[in-house]
Amino acid sequence: MVKIENIELGEFPLLLAPMEDVSDPPFRAVCKQNGADLMYTEFISSDGLVRDADKSLKKLDIYEEERPIGIQIFGGDLESMSVSAEIVERANPNLLDINYGCPVMKVVCKMAGAGILQDVPKMVKLTQAVVNSTRLPVTVKTRLGWDDKTKNIAEVAERLQDIGIKAISIHGRTRIQMYKGNADWTLIGEVKNNPRIKIPVFGNGDVNSPQKALEMKNRYGVDGIMIGRAAIGYPWIFNEVKYYLKTGMLLPPPSVLQRVNTAKEHLRRSVEWKGQKLGILEMRRHYTNYFRGFPNIKPYRSQLVTLEDLTELYNTLDQIAAAYDGLEMPHPYAEPAAFSNENAC
């Protein structure tokens, strides 16, 4: 049984990665329904929380059906991170996660996210400040290092464990790589198999199929796997991985009706949480992946990303269900997710 402090996650948990502009409550709900064991909010600016910024405070929204869930924060200022930890605790998540992995420039230039990988002593001080400011279990998501010359994750993991973090998730790329090239899990495996490391170690990067999940589990011995981009528009991947790990067989891919119904559920929750205008607008980024592989889908997709009336959107989804009834769906694992890499922080 993998545990983060007293939070039981099962024998080999699958985590939904925190992704900016993606991992909101509507998306988390459909992933939870389809097998995600632990989820995180979108990352939240510590400066925004301290200033009571509406956008940052809205991201604190969590729901009982999502548990266990972590709220993730980022920042480069010790005082702001400490105060943010206190604010997060009042929101009552199961844990608090610190983002030391986001590679986008607007975050890195503030020595936050992956920017802190250039200054490990400061990373340790920031982490210690957060640990001292909350009773919640504190976890960290980070990368192998800043660049190929500073892949210092082995040292980082030991130092962060020593000051009290309860788990670490490691993306198998450096900051300089962004999301290019292949994720390197070798150092993730070294951290996991370091006899000094007693906390759970979760691997992240390029797991886009049940077969890949099994390979990473067996080869590197990680305690669980974090899945990000492969779940966008395809939340079924969590249960498919679990089934494959248990049986060695692939589940049939979701039917057309399953895809349509899940897209409807996602849309409904998006509108409920964000309001009709914003909920419809921000749902548009998901449709391509929900209906990836459908022949001649472009006319329907064009409607989904332009219509502004909720009833018309539901009608279009019903038309897709009728038009493609009986279509045999291939597994999508070989195809890259049609989504900007910059969002997967």
pLDDT of 304 higher than 90 = yes
pLDDT of residue 342: 47
Overall average pLDDT of the 15-27 stretch? 95
pLDDT of 344 higher than 60 = no
Give the Cα separation of 291 and 229 in Å (integer). 15
pLDDT of 149 higher than 60 = yes
The predicted-structure confidence for 256-279, as pLDDT tens digits, reads as follows: 999 999 999 999 999 999 999 999
Give the bridge partners for 39, in sequence order: 16, 69
Report in angstroms the alpha-carbon separations of 81 from 46, 53, 133.
6, 15, 9
Domain 256-323 in CATH 2.60.120: no
Report in angstroms the alpha-carbon separations of 278 from 267, 291, 309.
11, 21, 12
pLDDT of residue 334: 47
pLDDT of residue 335: 45
* AA identity, residue 149: K
Domain ranges of the chain: 3-250, 256-323
Overall average pLDDT of the 152-170 stretch? 97
pLDDT of 340 higher than 70 = no
Q: Is the dihedral of CA 87, 90, 96, 99 positive or negative?
A: negative
pLDDT of residue 331: 67
Other C-beta atoms closer than 10 Å to the C-beta of 182 total 10
pLDDT of residue 110: 87
Q: Compute the mean pLDDT over every residue in the chain, rounded to the nearest whole number.
A: 93
Give the Cα separation of 187 and 310 in Å (integer). 47
pLDDT of residue 322: 97
CATH architecture classification, 3-250: Alpha-Beta Barrel (3.20)
* Of 71, 120, 78, nearest in space to 98 by CA: 71
pLDDT of residue 213: 97
Overall average pLDDT of the 54-81 stretch? 95
Q: Which residues are catalytic?
A: 102
pLDDT of residue 333: 57
